[in-house]
Amino acid sequence: MFWYCYEKPSCIKKSNIMSYFENIRTFVRVYELGSMSAAGRDLRISPAVTSSRISQLEDHLGVRLFQRTTRNLNATEQGEAFYRGACEVLESIEAAEAQVTDITDSPRGSLYVAAPLGVGRRLIAPQVPAFLAEYPDVSVRLRLTDRKVDLTTEGLDLAYFLGQPEDSNLRIKKIADVQRVLCAAPRYIASHGHPSSGKDLVKDKHECLNLRFPGAKEFQWPLMTASGMKRFPAAGRYESDDGDVLTDWALAGHGIALKPVFEVAQYLKSGALVVVCEDTPPEPIQMACLFTHRRHQDPKTRLFMDFVSDRIAGSFNETA
Q: Cα–Cα distance between 169 and 166 in angstroms, integer? A: 9
Q: What is the pLDDT of residues 83-122, one digit of tens each?
A: 888 887 877 776 666 665 555 557 888 899 999 888 899 8
Instruction: Indicate the CATH number for domain 109-178+286-316.
Output: 3.40.190.10
CA dihedral over 268, 273, 274, 275, signed as positive or negative? negative
Residues of the chain with CATH 3.40.190.10: 109-178+286-316
Q: What is the pLDDT of residues 187-215, one digit of tens each?
A: 999 999 999 999 999 998 999 999 876 55
The one-character DSSP state at 296 is: G
Q: Return the pLDDT at 261.
A: 92
Q: Return the pLDDT at 47.
A: 85
Name the band, by pLDDT with cuts 50, 70 and 90, for residue 8. very low
Which region holds residue 276: left if phi is over 0, alpha if psi is between -120 and 50, else beta?
A: beta
Is 268:319 a contact under the CB 8 Å cutoff? no
Residues of the chain with CATH 3.40.190.290: 180-283
Element (H, E) at 175: strand 171-178
Element (H, E) at 261: helix 261-270
Please name the fold of domain 9-100: Arc Repressor Mutant, subunit A (1.10.10)
CATH architecture of 180-283: 3-Layer(aba) Sandwich (3.40)
pTM of the model: 0.64
